[in-house]
Structure 1
Amino acid sequence: MNAPKDTSGSPSTDGQADRSPVRVGALAPLSQPGWVEAGRHLLAGLDLAVQEANSAGGIGGRPLELMVRDTAADPERASAAVEELTDLGVAALVGEYHSVVARAAATRADALGVPFLCSSAVLDALTEETTEWVARVAPVQSHGWRLYADFLLASGRKRIALATQSSAYWASGTRVLRDRLASRRGTVVELDAHALTPEALCDALVAHDATALLLLVGHPEPAVSLVKAVRSDGRLAEILIGAPAGQPEFAAWAALLGGAGAGVPFLRYLPERFGPLAERVEKELGGCLGEAPSFVAFEGWDTITVLVEALRSHGTNRAAIAASWPHLRVEGTRGPINFSRTPETGVRQWAWAPVQVADRDPAAPERFRVLHTG
């Protein structure tokens, strides 16, 4: 196990008159092939919480400064950014949306001895070895995707087809769904979205008598083309299209698909009802984004709010920040946040953020319906 240790490059709080910025490195997909819309929402949440922290006096009078790096969904680029930001003297790292990218960042942060508070990535095993340097706000994939499988079964959908692409994230999700459904007499068939045209995939759905198609593929393509093909195929009028990874949460989904994108259940990490804190943050984030904030924006806000508490209560030394994870108790937008050890994650984990299965209402696609919670 890699325990927190002091490093010569770690920031210190030795100088009484120090008013230099406390630098925090932020990782997010801000260019393609990354999911840019998710990265923009994540950064909006991070930025807003930094502004609020600085308005409240910063960290012992020192301003918090966010140093943003675009990962573009590239694990190697993320690892290089972690090294660069570590050399620049950041106190900690935050962010990232893509799971495979976050795993690369977490592995490098652990090796370099710099705290990393992961905002959005859900792949269960974020690091191969247990580490004290990494903590995570997002729930693990297996937790949310089991809930999604339960939703399918509760709605009478037992013959499930998966449109898949090659990725550790999609492969992990496939295993979770297959195991959960098989334990309740459901069946799963995988359809290669790279090898099959949308029309050929529709033929396969008919041949397998599937009652649901889950999109375990990239957005906008091939997800958008697959939805259009299925919606226009009269043989598949009764099939449920689902997107557990959350694509329909974002405005681009509705813009590209219109009414065809409604009624597609997805996972998101929000409570059924907002309290006063979440309502305030929702309003502020909406003003920053010019649209309704997604759950990813709330993850960003919660991440910085947790880190600010760590910095204020334990100091800006890297080892002290990492040592603070199990002692933090922070009120986030989606409930009280604290960290514990959970099986097979390797990191300190908030267990858990609230989970919903939701969709866009076919009668009003700009409105969301909550279909299942857990």
Structure 2
Amino acid sequence: MSTPSSRPGAERTDRPTGGSAGGSVGGPSVLIGVLVPLTRPGWTEAGQHLLAGLELGVREVNDAGGIGGRPLELVVRDTAADPQRAAAAVDELACLGVVALAGEYHSVVARAVAARADALGLPYLCSSAVLDALTEQPTQWVARLAPVQSHGWRIYADFLLREGHRRIAVATQPSVYWASGARILRNHLAPHGGTVTELDMRTLSSTTMCDQLVDNRATALLLLVGHPEPAVPIVQSVRRDQRLADVLIGAPAGQPEFAEWAAALGNDGAGVPFLRYLPERLGPLGVCVATALRERLAEAPSFVAFEGYDTIAVLAEVLRSHGVDRARAAGSWPDVAVEGSRGHIRFTRVPGISVWQWAWAPVQVVDRDPAHPEQLRVLHTG
């Protein structure tokens, strides 16, 4: 499965983007390697938003004089959610002379990128992937902006408990990421009398899955599956089954954040809580970034677009302060202090996390308002 990205300009992903701005910068470009999913089976809409944020950040850096007078450029590679393809791209980008890597949305792909970056001695700022174990061993080369899965998904579990849900079913597919999410939920809910029943969507049809929900007396069904398949038909089946009228459908991984979800499901896609990494109210910088991202995307920006912007804000500060040497850049993670679009960004060593981590980006549980599905409402913050 591999279909071209629908985003205008996706064909540019095999050469640098975001170069000089007018006459404000000159000389050889400072290259940043970017890994993003822009074709299927990758989550292309997330990749498009992430790239839009990265490109906006680069434009602003170059408008302000670049990196020591040199233009900042992105060298973009499409991962298509394929870890092997991403690892090969890291090797290629290293040979092209990038000073650092950025991006990626899919956790299993980001893990492959992080491992290869660590082996090559190439700084990598992971923009959006959340899997706790991004690398097998502690590393100085990798830092991350997104909150780890165990942090965000525990907040989601607290939301379920607050809403009175203790009999939870999860529709699952084989994946390190989905298995980790199910484990986090189970471990956090169990001390409060909560149970998690896994429904393997390799063996169940939508009809038999609905029967399982009834038999298990589940009050909530969480989608730990890919989008649009099988997430969309699962939602449609549950919404049409009168026996399940009171069952909450949830999607902690964030599928309903994107316009593709609303286009596929309409009103059926409303009222599905998901995790979003934005503050309840943006500050002045965040408001300006949101306006620029909306213009660039021609739609409301997701939290992933803000993650892209903040990635460039951090890397630009690192390169301005410590130069373009890879080792010096990687050694500067603990010195970072940057005002991002979603708050003040600093990196620390978090117990149990092997990379430098922003602890923490703001976390919300949000859904599409059933009365106005085009609008998002905040249900819970952590």
Could you say whether these structures have the same fold, taking a TM-score greater than 0.5 normalized by the shorter chain as the test? yes
Counterpart of 2:298, as a letter, is G
Q: 1:18 to 1:369 in 2, by over 3 A?
A: closer
- Alignment-derived partner of residue 210 in structure 2: 202
Counterpart check, 1:109 vs 2:120: no
127, 135, 138: which is aligned to 2:146?
Answer: 138
State the distance in 1 between where 2:71 and 2:353 align. Answer: 33
How far is 1:161 from its partner?
A: 0.2
- Alignment-derived partner of residue 175 in structure 1: 183
- Alignment-derived partner of residue 20 in structure 1: 28
309, 332, 336: which is aligned to 1:328?
Answer: 336
Q: Mean Cα displacement is larger for which, 340-349 or 294-303?
A: 340-349
Secondary structure in structure 2 of the residue aligned to 1:59: coil
- Alignment-derived partner of residue 302 in structure 2: 294
How far is 1:140 from its partner?
A: 0.1
- Number of residue pairs the alignment of both structures matches: 358
- Alignment-derived partner of residue 221 in structure 1: 229
State the distance in 2 between where 1:336 and 1:217 align. Answer: 33
Cα deviation code 1:322-347 (max 9, x no counterpart): 01100010000110000000122210
Give the 5 Å matches for 1:1-374. Answer: 19-374=27-382
State the distance in 2 between where 1:210 and 1:360 align. Answer: 22
How far is 1:260 from its partner?
A: 0.2
Counterpart of 2:251, as a letter, is A
State the distance in 2 between where 1:342 and 1:128 align. Answer: 15
State the distance in 2 between where 1:114 and 1:20 align. Answer: 20
TM-score (normalizing by structure 2): 0.93
TM-score (normalizing by structure 1): 0.95
State the distance in 2 between where 1:174 and 1:236 align. Answer: 22
State the distance in 2 between where 1:326 and 1:298 align. Answer: 22
- Alignment-derived partner of residue 11 in structure 2: none
Secondary structure in structure 2 of the residue aligned to 1:241: strand
How far is 1:349 from its partner?
A: 0.3
How far is 1:18 from its partner?
A: 8.4
Cα deviation code 1:247-281 (max 9, x no counterpart): 00000000000000000000010000011100000
State the distance in 2 between where 1:174 and 1:85 align. Answer: 35
State the distance in 1 between where 2:191 and 2:201 align. Answer: 26
Counterpart of 2:259, as a letter, is A
Structure 1 gap segments, 5+ residues each? 1-16
Structure 2 gap segments, 5+ residues each? 1-24
Secondary structure in structure 1 of the residue aligned to 2:153: helix
Counterpart of 1:285, as a letter, is L
State the distance in 1 between where 2:304 and 2:225 align. Answer: 19
CA contact (8 A) 2:26 2:71 kept: no
Counterpart of 1:226, as a letter, is I
How far is 1:194 from its partner?
A: 1.5
Counterpart of 1:113, as a letter, is G
How far is 1:19 from its partner?
A: 1.9
State the distance in 2 between where 1:116 and 1:55 align. Answer: 24
- Alignment-derived partner of residue 12 in structure 1: none
Cα deviation code 1:211-236 (max 9, x no counterpart): 00000000001000000000000000
State the distance in 2 between where 1:189 and 1:30 align. Answer: 33
Secondary structure in structure 2 of the residue aligned to 1:183: helix
Secondary structure in structure 1 of the residue aligned to 2:192: coil
State the distance in 2 between where 1:352 and 1:29 align. Answer: 24
Once the two structures are aligned, what percentage of the paired residues are identical?
69
- Alignment-derived partner of residue 5 in structure 1: none
State the distance in 1 between where 2:108 and 2:202 align. Answer: 20
Secondary structure in structure 2 of the residue aligned to 1:357: strand
Counterpart of 1:47, as a letter, is E
State the distance in 2 between where 1:324 and 1:106 align. Answer: 17
Counterpart of 1:372, as a letter, is H
Counterpart of 1:361, as a letter, is D
